[in-house]
Amino acid sequence: MAGSLYIVAAPSGAGKSTLVNALLQREHGIRLSVSYTTRTPRPGEVDGQHYHFVSHDAFMDMAERGQFFEYAIVHGDLKGTARSAVESELASGVDVLLEIDYQGARLVRHLMPEAISIFILPPSRLELERRLRSRAQDSEDVIQRRLAGSRTEIAHVHEFDYIIVNDDFERALADMVTIVQASRLRQRVQTERLKALLSGLIA
């Protein structure tokens, strides 16, 4: 049985990565697809764990070879998901989660309409700015660019299946877990998983 594809998007500073990492620790059978990016690593980020950090030329070479499932310009940098990693995991029955922006999410949904998409919102613009500044990793110019970009990203929230407000972390995490657990009980998934039981009950 093929795995399910989850898409999680959010404006920078909404707490997406923290929520996703907590979800992966709590729910087994989901693998995070590590994206490729041309941006410079932030302090503490590890190549191959947080992102695959590559040059602009290397990224474009992969794109020209059709090796990306999706890619887009995010805050001035290129970011993409490798096709082989996603397709092979799904084919082997493993659920895959993509942390991508709304542009990438739109491309993925076009290729895989059955993908489950989640958008994470901050509780307010004031809190969003506070979180961005608390990182102490970005320049004032970058922070202002991310704040401005958040308006565009949030304007696309209606394109997603689920919306979670990350005000209380534990509640937001519980909401994400609920979405995953409910998706695993969908008719399409269950009829495939329970073939033997259904056959015996119907016979």
Instruction: Tell me the CATH number at 198.
Output: 3.40.50.300
Question: What residues of the chain score a pLDDT lower than 70?
Answer: none
> Is residue 161 assigned to a domain?
yes
> Is residue 193 assigned to a domain?
yes
Distance CA 114, CA 96 (A): 13
Question: Helix H segments across 27-139?
Answer: 56-64, 83-91, 102-111, 125-134
> Is residue 81 assigned to a domain?
no
95 token code pair: 């659920």
> Is residue 78 assigned to a domain?
no
User: Residue 137's pLDDT is what?
Assistant: 72
> Is residue 58 assigned to a domain?
no
User: Residue 142's pLDDT is what?
Assistant: 84
> Is residue 52 assigned to a domain?
no
User: Residue 23's pLDDT is what?
Assistant: 96
Residue for token digits 């998409």? 117
Contact 81, 69 (CB under 8 A): yes
> Is residue 40 assigned to a domain?
no
90 token code pair: 């799904």
User: Residue 176's pLDDT is what?
Assistant: 97
Q: Please state the domain count of the chain.
A: 1
Structural domain containing residue 110: 5-33+94-202
For the segment 102-119, what is each residue's pLDDT rounded down to a tens digit?
A: 988 998 898 889 999 999
Contact 162, 179 (CB under 8 A): yes
> Is residue 88 assigned to a domain?
no
Contact 118, 128 (CB under 8 A): no
